[in-house]
Structure 1
Amino acid sequence: MRKSLLVFFVALFALVLAACGSNNESGTSNESGKTVYKVGIDTTYPPFEYEVDGKYVGIDVDLINAIAEDQGFEVQLEAMDFKGIIPALQAGQLDISMGGMSITEDRKKVVDFTDPYFDAGVSLVVSKDNSEIKSVEDLKGKKVAVKKGTVGANYADSIVNDIGFEIIQFDDSPSMFLEVQNGNAVALFEDYPVISYAIAQQDLGLQVVGDRLNDDQYGIGVLKGKNQEVLAKINQGLKNLKENGKYQEIIDKYLAD
């Protein structure tokens, strides 16, 4: 009886250890034996992530694929709303977060970021025929559109009480652009490279007002305290790509003048 109990508890202990270990592991193995990591992206965010003819493209897509090739792993891209990327990471549904994600103190509470890979910054945007809004101070009493969960939304929150305007939130950038195009909002806050690219590619009827309002940087993330080996691989891959020129090739592919 004692021997049976001992065997039972040893087996139970082994199962507990295995379960605990599985919570710290990430990725799955494919048929070739390579580890595959799930990467959360927001495909309404050109030039970083968007869809063309059913295929995901953009700076982030090319970059994470190039890093994966450099470091010997593979990625499975998971498209979702930007605001859902970190919760999905916390729930274990993702291994890596992207989405043109700015490195902020709040996000660093739940995400460990790589070295910065892009200098962004938020811009104030109005319709092309608007000559009244020249700075954020001119937004007093107006409606301003933002995208949920973004640095632009956070920036709006940080100044709304001082200036006094109404914030309207959207799940994606195109809907936010449309709100200003239709005159339902007088302005919007968007990351500078995103809005600059959008204006250059399409006749949006929008214009950027003034200089960038902050100097935030984008980073690739993993769940805080987990997947540090993955984080190290991404950092090393990013370093290698910058040294061999591949990083600049990717940037120039989408943002060259």
Structure 2
Amino acid sequence: MQRAERLFQLMNLLRNRRTVMTARQMSEHLQVSERTVYRDIQALSLSGVPVEGEAGVGYRLQRHYQLPPLMFDRQEVEALLLGARMVSGWGDEQMARSAKNAIQKILAIVPDHLRHSDENLPLLVPSYDDYQKIYTAHSEKIREAIRLRRLVRIDYVRADNEFSCRHIEPLGLIFWGKVWTLVAWCQLRDDYRVFRLDRIRSLAISETGFDVKDTKNLKHYLDLMAAQYGQQVATNEKAQQANCEQFHPDEP
């Protein structure tokens, strides 16, 4: 990576942070040494970029500092176009429209030699008939409820084909390659539950709000799942090791 490109990426890192960013965090992101980061910070300061902070604490750009308009290279444009095609094919109708509008805005400002990338991109995202109608059902309403933090009532068909009515606090949507799921706090179970969107038969947003906290939010749920997965992997490894020792005992 050339130094000019690295300095530009460094400014983008600092601009996108509300709090300070340490030299170690920047070095890990840019894949350079911390000493290189310190030299780059000094170069930015000498060139007039208002970087605040100090070594050992962290850095940030002064508020209200405006960078020049962003420019994209070919690979970045292709990545954005591919992402937009994925959203268009696998997101709900509103997300698909927004993705297409965003791409048109991006293509309007890129150089001429990149403007027709969308037509020539050899990366396709197949979609299926009625996919949005079935697998993204109620997605727009759910995203609104998540944003407003409103309680939701759903009529749901469980995996055993039994109907269930739940009052839930929607926390986040997760896409699994085909199926969309809703992570929520179920008031009936007083715990996290995950619901497939294509199994929700009806949904109504309540006027009643809810609060998130350290022990009830999407990140907390994902951390719990990661911990459980790690424990399961460790248990499986111990079981495999025990089986191996049983059939292949150590020599006396």
TM-score scaled by length of structure 1: 0.27
- Where is the helix percentage greater, Structure 1 or Structure 2? 2
Highest Rg: 1 or 2? 2
Which structure would you say has the larger RCO, counting Cα contacts within 8 Å and 6 or more residues apart?
Answer: 1
TM-score scaled by length of structure 2: 0.27
